[in-house]
Amino acid sequence: MEQLQRTPLSDVHRSMNALMAPFGGWDMPIQYEGIIAEHRACREGAALFDICHMGEFIFQGDLVADGLEDIFTFSVVTIPVGRSRYGFLLNDAGGIVDDLIIFRLADDTVMIVVNAATAPKDFAVIRERLKGGILTDITADTGKLDLQGPLSREVMTRFFGPAIGELPYFKFITTTILGVPATVSRTGYTGELGYEIFLPADKVSELWQLLLSDSRVKPAGLGARDLLRLEVGYSLYGNDLSEEITPLEAGLESFVNFGKNFVGKDALLRQKEAGPSRVKVAFKVNSRRSPRHDYTIRSCGADAGIVTSGAFSPMLGCGIGLGFVTPELAQVGTPLTVCHDKVAMECSVCTLPFYSGGSLRS
């Protein structure tokens, strides 16, 4: 059997009767009260997520001379201190090794936050491409909690002071929480106002209990998190992104800076000139049925693509999904059929996000 890694809160989750399951090599909570109830808590109040499975690396050195600037699809050196930026680590063919966020801690120091399942591979790839500097994997020593929802600012300022409440989107501060150094970032994966909190792993349980002492905060698992991210059209690595999928195919060219050097640039430029043979589409089902990962997308009776993410959306009252099809089928309004065994769901291509009523930029 797979030996799963455990977050510092694994025993706490079990004491709360959470449904646990493997995710990215980790033993993680899928739900507590229920996915729909936890989804509602995030959309209407405040939800607390254990995200300690994510990977964190620290790089110290000259961002240009030591080669960090040429590794990612975005410029690291132009990120102001106290800000963060999202983008990709690519392979030579332009496929996505991982999607990640870099936090500029100082002129010569950044924190790289990566996905759990890809963290060891990411560390090896980045280290191999560096020309110098010091790259340190701090994942085992770092805890991460996400507080998300329209009431999250009120909760954070109640416990940690007004400065956190003044943070704009994609900005962070280094501060002291529970007597230890912490980084609090105005970022998240839900489409709602929210914060990501990084602090020493041995303080995570205490912080979890503190935040849950506020009656407005409810614990939420990865089931709700996946539904929340899909409603706002965020991609999930391993489903909508992979080493066989490029940012151009995934509709994420805006996170690629072609004005700088990066591994995979030549392959992307060739694909850009020729045009991708497949592209990601968003679609709504004409019923409450839920499309699922790996369901077949059909057009005019012929196989046309595959579903990469799908669910029933409580905010829209219908099934929604992401998938890949040929470019001629990607026009908004194009009718499609999602099939699995004897089930057939009539759908139509739509724009993203599916749900745009969140508090993200409040």
Same domain, 40 and 153: yes
Same domain, 357 and 226: no
Same domain, 173 and 320: no
User: Residue 295 sits in a domain of what CATH number?
Assistant: 2.40.30.110
Q: Give the residue from 231, 266, 295 where a domain finishes.
A: 231
Q: What's the 3-state SS for the chain?
A: CCCCEECCCHHHHHHCCCEEEEECCEEEEEECCCHHHHHHHHHHCEEEEECCCCEEEEEECCCCCCCHHHCECCCCCCCCCCEEEEEEEECCCCCEEEEEEEEEEECCEEEEEECCCCHHHHHHHHHHHCCCCEEEECHHHEEEEEEECCCHHHHHHHHHCHHHHCCCCCEEEEEEECCEEEEEECCCCCCCCEEEEEEEHHHHHHHHHHHHCCCCEEECCHHHHHHHHHHCCCCCECCCECCCCCCCCCCCHHHCCCCCCCCCHHHHHHHHHHCCCCEEEEEEECCCCCCCCCCEEEECCEEEEEEEEEEEECCCCEEEEEEEECHHHCCCCCEEEEEECCEEEEEEEECCCCCCCCCCCC
CA distances (Å), origin 162, targets 14, 153, 158, 249: 34, 9, 8, 42
Same domain, 301 and 224: no
d(CA 47, CA 39) in angstroms, rounded, equals 8
Answer whether residue 310 is part of any domain: yes
As a dihedral over the C-alpha atoms of residue 303, residue 308, residue 312, residue 318, rounded to 10 degrees, the angle is -50
Same domain, 216 and 146: yes
Answer whether residue 237 is part of any domain: no
Residue with tokens 């989750």: 13
Q: What is the pLDDT of residue 12?
A: 98
Q: Give the residue from 205, 231, 257 where a domain finishes.
A: 231
User: Residue 177 sits in a domain of what CATH number?
Assistant: 3.30.1360.120
Averaged pLDDT in 10-residue chunks for the chain of 362 residues: 88 98 95 98 98 98 98 98 98 98 98 97 98 98 98 98 95 97 98 98 98 98 98 98 98 98 98 97 97 97 97 98 98 97 96 97 88
Same domain, 35 and 151: yes
Cis, peptide link before residue 29, omega less than 30° from 0: no
Structure tokens at 9: 């809160």
Count of domains in the chain? 2
Q: What is the pLDDT of residue 328?
A: 97
Same domain, 204 and 307: no
Answer whether residue 31 is part of any domain: yes
Same domain, 221 and 285: no
Q: What is the pLDDT of residue 362?
A: 87
The number of C-alpha atoms within 13 Å of 2 and in the hemisphere containing its C-beta is: 10
Burial of 93 (0-12, 13-18, 19+ CB in 10 A): middle
The number of C-alpha atoms within 13 Å of 211 and in the hemisphere containing its C-beta is: 31
Same domain, 45 and 187: yes
| Domain limits for position 45 | 5-52+140-231
Q: Which residues have C-beta within 8 Å of that of residue 300, sequence separation ≥ 6? A: none
Q: What is the pLDDT of residue 2?
A: 65
Same domain, 215 and 288: no
The Cα angle at residue 176 between residues 15 and 10, in degrees rounded to 5:
15
Torsion over CA: 255, 197, 130, 132 (sign): positive
Q: Give the residue from 202, 231, 260 where a domain finishes.
A: 231
Answer whether residue 193 is part of any domain: yes
Same domain, 221 and 289: no
Answer whether residue 134 is part of any domain: no
Answer whether residue 195 is part of any domain: yes
Answer whether residue 209 is part of any domain: yes
Same domain, 42 and 158: yes
Answer whether residue 295 is part of any domain: yes
